């Protein structure tokens, strides 16, 4: 199963729980359908594709978390991005088949920022872990409010951009 975050996503997170093996085999969600949640965890037994801009709203009174876990790759389309507002931590785990995002399978799963795509944070940590590679290309991974960034490629390479 795979998950796509796209402006034309028609799926619904419902109560916030989408169980493994649920149909359809590709779940397509719009970023806006997720922004009302204070914590977002998406786990895919395949890939996660970020195909559009996704801006998470500022959280003034509570720390929020976005966690994306894919058994294989997490891929960003040419101009797609995640922009985490104030109070959001971001964790991306590629090559992960466990509920524990720190358990990454060596040699499987990459985080791929294509074109000018990016991951932007503010005051909370951003953690990227891949079993194989983290490729930034012409994109960017950065914070503007002092949040730390950690990037790990277990058995591959980290290409920090051009």
For 31, which DSSP code? G
Q: What pLDDT is recorded for position 13?
A: 64
pLDDT at residue 14, as a whole number: 59
3-state DSSP call for residue 150?
A: strand
Half-sphere exposure of 1 toward its Cβ, with a 13 Å CA cutoff?
17
What is the per-residue pLDDT across 68-90, written as a single tens digit (0 to 9) for each?
A: 999 999 999 999 999 999 999 99
Residue 10 in contact with residue 32, Cβ under 8 Å? no
**Does pTM top 0.85 for this prediction?**
yes
């Amino acid at each position: 199963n795979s998950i796509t975050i796209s402006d034309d996503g028609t799926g619904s997170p419902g109560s916030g729980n989408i169980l493994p093996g649920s149909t359809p085999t590709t779940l397509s969600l719009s970023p806006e359908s997720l922004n009302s949640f204070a914590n977002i965890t998406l786990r895919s037994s395949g890939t996660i594709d970020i195909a559009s801009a996704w801006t998470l709203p500022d959280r003034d009174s509570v720390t929020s978390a976005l966690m994306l876990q894919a058994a294989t790759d997490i891929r960003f389309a040419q101009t797609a991005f995640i922009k985490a507002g104030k109070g959001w931590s971001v964790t991306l785990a590629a090559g992960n088949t466990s509920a524990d995002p720190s358990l990454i399978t060596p040699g499987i799963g990459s985080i791929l920022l294509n074109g000018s795509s990016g991951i932007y944070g503010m005051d909370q940590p951003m953690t990227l872990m891949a079993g194989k590679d983290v490729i930034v290309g012409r994109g960017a991974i950065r914070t503007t409010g002092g949040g730390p960034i950690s990037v790990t490629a277990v058995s591959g390479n980290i290409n920090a951009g051009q």
